[in-house]
Amino acid sequence: MLTLYRILSFLLVPVALFFGTLCCIVLVVALSQPALLLPLFIIACVCIYTYCSIRFVMVGIDQNRILGPKLGDWLRVNSYVSIVFALLNITQLFLVAKNPSVLEMQVEAMPAYSAGGTVDKAFLVQLVKGCLYFLFAYSIVLLVHVFVTYAMMKKYAFVFFTRNPE
């Protein structure tokens, strides 16, 4: 189980790095567009969850060091938001698969398409579908990782104890 957890953790890291970079860029825009703050918060929580889980594996389990209860709290709280993120992505793919015309209407509403540019509608639909499939796969990995994290947190609970002053 530990090997599976380690593999899943390292699968999440590149996407979290991409999302983290994206969050830094979008933060500037989100300050002027408050509607972007909630999705930005959700993606930031997924990045924080990934960081905390990697720290849990590499420092807590591998090096057998005490991390303290704060990391356990960060891991647990951000895992809840990560579950919401994953479920939203999975639901989104199923809704688009059920009714593909919604995706075509959204593509037509995109500024790149509606501005009269040379972007092909079929290309944009395929691009969005590809992103949806990628996010679906990522969400499945994230969900499995979260539930394995709960099992690992139970098994290695000593990692989250308070340090004893000596």
* Per-residue model confidence as pLDDT tens digits over 120-162: 778 888 988 999 999 999 999 999 999 999 999 999 999 988 7
Domain membership of residue 75 as a residue range: 2-157
Residue 56 lies in a domain: yes
State how many domains the chain has: 1
Asked if residue 70 is part of any domain, the answer here is yes
* 125, part of any domain: yes
Higher pLDDT, 101 or 139: 139
CB 82 within 8 A of CB 49: yes
Supply the pLDDT for residue 108. 78
d(CA 91, CA 131): 14
Closest CA to 83 of 160, 1, 149: 149
Domain membership flag for residue 68: yes
Q: What is the pLDDT of residues 39-90, one digit of tens each?
A: 999 999 999 999 999 999 999 999 989 998 999 999 999 999 999 999 999 9
Position 162 in a domain: no
Alpha helices in the chain (DSSP H): 2-32, 37-55, 69-98, 100-109, 111-114, 121-155
CA distance 17 to 9: 13
Domain annotation covers residue 91: yes
Is 39 a member of any domain? yes
Say which residue the tokens 């909630």 belong to. 38
Q: Under a CB-based contact definition with an 8 Å cutoff, are residues 78 and 49 in contact?
A: yes
pTM, 2 dp: 0.89
Q: Quick check: is 166 in a domain?
A: no
